[in-house]
C-alpha cells in the first residue's frame, strides 16, 4: 500500500447561495484503502464526495487527483422514455463521454459482462433500466462504475435501497477493489460497513469531527 495519496483535498469550502455547507476540509485518500464518510443528514457528505469527484466545484480550495475517477450516485427513479437497457447503462462506464478508457471489441464486452456478473445482473442485461426495482437500478449504476476501471471509486450511498444480501455483496466488491489497489471512498449510513472499512471519516455541520482507522469507534 503506497503512502502517497491518490486524491487530496486542500482547504475545501462550499456553499449553496448564502448557506455554507463545507468549512475548510483537508482530506487525503490513499490507494489500496476503503474509506467511509459518515455523519448526520445535512452534514455535507454528498457535497464533499461530488467535489472530490470533480462533479461540483468548491467555492474555495482545490482537489488533486492522481488517476481517473468514477462517481456512483443514488438514482432511484429513471424516466420510462429513457431508451437504455441495463447493459447500455453499464457500457457508459467503458465508452461514454466520461469513460476512463474507451474500450472496444472483446475488451469492452468483457468489462461489461464482468461488471454485470459482479453485481448479479447478468440475467437482466437486456431489460430496460426503468423496469428494474430501485435496488436493481442502484446495482446497475455500481456496475457502471466498476466497468470504468477507474483507479479512484467514489460512491454516494451506493447500497441504498438494497436488501441485506445485496448490501453485503456490495461491501465485498468495494473491499476487493481496494485490495486490488483502487482508492475507494463511500458515503454510508450503514454501521456494518464500518467493520470492513480501513477508515471512518465523520462529518458534522460541514466539518471533519473524527477521522479514525479500523477498529476504533468513531
pLDDT along the chain (218 residues), means of 10: 84 93 96 96 95 95 94 74 86 70 74 92 92 85 90 88 83 92 93 91 96 66
Residue 201's DSSP bridge partners are 37, 211
The predicted pLDDT at position 218 comes to: 44
Total residues found in the chain within this entry: 218
pLDDT, residue 86, reads 92
Cell of 151: 483507479
**pTM to 2 decimal places:** 0.88
Q: What is the pLDDT of residue 33?
A: 95
Query: Which residues, 6+ apart, have CB-to-CB distance to 79 below 8 Å?
Result: 130
pLDDT for the residue numbered 76: 57
* CA gap 130, 54 in Å, rounded: 27
| Cα pseudo-dihedral 61, 67, 73, 75, rounded to 10 | 130
Amino acid at each position: 500500500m503506497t503512502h502517497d495519496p491518490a486524491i487530496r483535498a486542500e482547504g475545501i469550502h462550499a456553499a449553496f447561495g448564502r448557506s455554507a455547507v463545507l468549512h475548510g476540509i483537508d482530506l487525503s485518500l490513499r490507494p489500496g484503502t476503503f474509506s467511509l464518510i459518515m455523519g448526520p443528514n445535512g452534514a455535507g457528505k454528498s457535497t464533499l464526495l461530488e467535489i472530490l469527484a470533480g462533479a461540483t466545484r468548491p467555492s474555495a480550495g482545490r482537489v488533486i487527483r492522481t488517476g481517473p475517477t468514477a462517481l456512483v450516485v443514488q438514482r432511484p427513479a429513471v424516466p420510462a422514455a429513457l431508451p437504455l437497457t441495463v447493459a447500455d447503462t453499464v457500457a457508459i462506464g467503458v465508452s461514454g463521454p466520461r469513460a476512463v478508457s474507451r474500450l472496444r471489441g472483446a475488451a469492452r464486452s468483457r468489462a461489461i459482462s464482468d461488471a454485470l456478473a459482479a453485481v448479479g445482473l447478468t440475467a437482466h442485461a437486456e431489460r430496460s433500466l426503468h423496469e428494474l426495482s430501485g435496488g436493481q437500478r442502484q446495482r446497475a449504476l455500481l456496475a457502471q462504475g466498476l466497468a470504468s476501471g477507474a483507479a479512484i471509486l467514489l460512491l454516494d450511498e451506493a447500497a441504498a435501497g438494497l436488501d441485506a444480501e445485496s448490501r453485503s455483496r456490495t461491501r465485498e466488491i468495494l473491499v476487493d477493489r481496494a485490495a486490488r489497489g483502487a482508492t475507494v471512498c463511500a458515503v454510508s449510513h450503514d454501521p456494518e460497513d464500518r467493520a470492513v472499512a480501513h477508515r471512518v471519516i465523520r462529518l458534522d455541520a460541514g466539518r471533519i469531527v473524527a477521522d479514525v482507522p479500523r477498529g476504533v469507534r468513531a
